[in-house]
Amino acid sequence: MTDLNQTDLQTLVTGNKRAWDSFVAAAAPLINAVVRRTMSSSRLGEDDVMDAAQDVFVRLCAGDFRLLKTYDPARAGLSTWLAVVARSAAVDHLRRRRQATEPLDDVPEAALGVEDKHVEKLQIPQGLLTERQTLILKCLYDEERDVAEVAVLLKIDAQTVRSTHHKALLRLRAHFGDEPP
Amino acid sequence: MGTERKSRTDKELWRSLAVERVVAPSLLSDLDFAAWLEGRLPEAAAARIEAAVAADPELRRAALDLADILGKPLPAAPARLAVRAQALVGFDAERQVGRGGGWFGRLFTSGPFFALQRAAMVAMAIVVAGAGFVMGGGLGDSLAQQRYGSDVATSTTATTSSELSDFFVSDGI
């Protein structure tokens, strides 16, 4: 199987059948994995996963390969860009399917729940935490991901995630006092 | 034990706070997001995307999922996925409609060798048609024949009409 990042894009966007077939063979595992992960929380079946994956390929070749022509290898690797495109296509597919078919009774109560806006929260002033510190705290506490996952996301080692987390908490405690409000 | 208690307290502290951010609706391109996921962006550009990702739970989940998938070996895709996708490109009719360019454009789309071959065929067709035309008498003869034919038709019509008049006159009508 050819490496996705070795794809000859110039030949591919001319509509060359052989180039397209080998691109599909190389991209299918990635697109399949991304679409499956994106749709894993929905209760849609295998046919929907296949249709969503097909949507990704349709997007790529539609309009004389308009979307593929927007890809710039100088800015990002083809596999990463394709993964982002596949995720967007799968989210769109899910939205369309939900709008078209899901009866209200089938929607989990948690999804229908409305957040209680009356809970007063203290505002973290702008500039107290860096964007990275905020992102790390959100990933750890709001998304409940572990340190290793955040390290993979930010391309840093786990120890750096821990120390950034620690410094952020120190700043918050210094600003709001030691005891949680 | 102590670490566990502290960790719980940290979480409680965080959840009791709200991040004050005025974040514009994210106008994040797929390429920017991919570049950030690869850690290719300079610090300032990365900070802008980190702010957008921190502010948008959907984007945050996308980032975490994609980073996880891209860092692992991928399972094979079902065969029918590739078969269906491969069928999207490659039909001649689709390629011609998609590309356009007309007859002349298509003459030169398949490389110089095929263009030469097609040009030779076209030239031969022109020579055969020209030879046929000359052997048939050319344009001058054709026009002359056409004119002669129309004169004959006119005189025939005139003769027929005068014969009819004579017939009616002789009958006293």
Q: Give pLDDT tens digits for B125-156.
A: 888 888 887 777 666 665 566 655 555 554 54
Nearest CA in chain A to B99: A64
Nearest CA in chain B to A150: B64
- Please give the backbone phi and psi of residue B110, each rounded to the nearest 5 degrees, phi first: -100, 20
Q: Return the pLDDT at B148.
A: 56
Architecture of domain A4-104: Orthogonal Bundle (1.10)
Q: Is residue B82 part of a domain?
A: no
Which residues in chain B are contacts of A142 at CB distance < 8 A?
57, 60
Task: Write the pLDDT tens digit of every residue in B31-49.
Answer: 999 999 999 999 999 999 9
Indicate yes or no: CB of B50 within 8 angstroms of CB of A91. Answer: no
C-alpha distances out from residue A161 to A50, A88, B14, Å: 37, 28, 16
Place of tokens 């750890």: A140
Q: Return the pLDDT at A76.
A: 95
Q: Return the pLDDT at A118.
A: 55
In the numeric block, which tokens belong to residue A164? 């950034």
Same domain for B166 and B108: yes
Q: Return the pLDDT at B164.
A: 53
Q: Return the pLDDT at A120.
A: 67
Taking the mean position of all CA atoms in its chain, how far away is CA A119? Answer: 30
Nearest to B69 among A83, A121, A134 (CB): A83
Does position B173 have pLDDT exceeding 70, yes or no?
no
> Minimal Cα–Cα distance from B90 to chain A, Å?
5
Does position B2 have pLDDT exceeding 50, yes or no?
no
Q: Return the pLDDT at B93.
A: 45
Q: Is residue B53 part of a domain?
A: yes
Does residue A135 come out as left (phi exceeding 0), alpha (psi in the -120 to 50 range) or beta?
alpha
Same domain for B115 and B63: no
Same domain for B105 and B64: no
Q: pLDDT band at residue B18, thresholds of 50, 70 and 90?
A: confident
Indicate yes or no: CB of B64 within 8 angstroms of CB of A88. Answer: no
Q: Return the pLDDT at B91.
A: 63
Q: Return the pLDDT at B85.
A: 96
Q: Is residue B77 part of a domain?
A: no
Which residues in chain B are contacts of A54 at CB distance < 8 A?
81, 84-85
* Total number of domains in chain B: 2
Task: Write the pLDDT tens digit of every residue in A56-107.
Answer: 999 999 999 999 999 999 999 999 999 999 999 999 999 988 766 656 666 6
Q: pLDDT band at residue B163, thresholds of 50, 70 and 90?
A: low
Nearest to A79 among B21, B30, B70 (CB): B70
> Minimal Cα–Cα distance from B116 to chain A, Å?
21
A124-176 under CATH 1.10.10.10, yes or no: yes
Does position B120 have pLDDT exceeding 90, yes or no?
no
In whole angstroms, what is the distance from residue A52 CA to residue A44 CA?
A: 11
Q: Is residue B131 part of a domain?
A: yes
Same domain for B66 and B8: yes
Which parts of chain A have pLDDT scores under 70?
A: 1-2, 99-120, 178-181
Q: Is residue B14 part of a domain?
A: yes
Which residues in chain B are contacts of A181 at CB distance < 8 A?
16
Rg of chain A taking only CA atoms, in angstroms: 22
Average pLDDT over chain A, rounded to an integer:
87
Domain range summary for chain A, segments of one domain joined by +: 4-104, 124-176
- ∠ at Cα A100 (A98, A103), nearest 5°? 70
Residues above pLDDT 90, as percent of chain B: 32
ipTM attached to this prediction: 0.83
Same domain for B11 and B65: yes
Which residues in chain B are contacts of A25 at CB distance < 8 A?
82, 86
Does position B86 have pLDDT exceeding 90, yes or no?
yes
In terms of residue numbers, what domain contains B44? Answer: 2-70
Q: pLDDT band at residue B97, thresholds of 50, 70 and 90?
A: very low
Task: Select the more confidently predicted residue: A180 or B50.
Answer: B50
C-alpha distances out from residue B153 to A62, B141, B146, B147, B157, Å: 62, 18, 11, 10, 6
Nearest CA in chain B to A173: B13
Q: pLDDT band at residue B117, thresholds of 50, 70 and 90?
A: confident
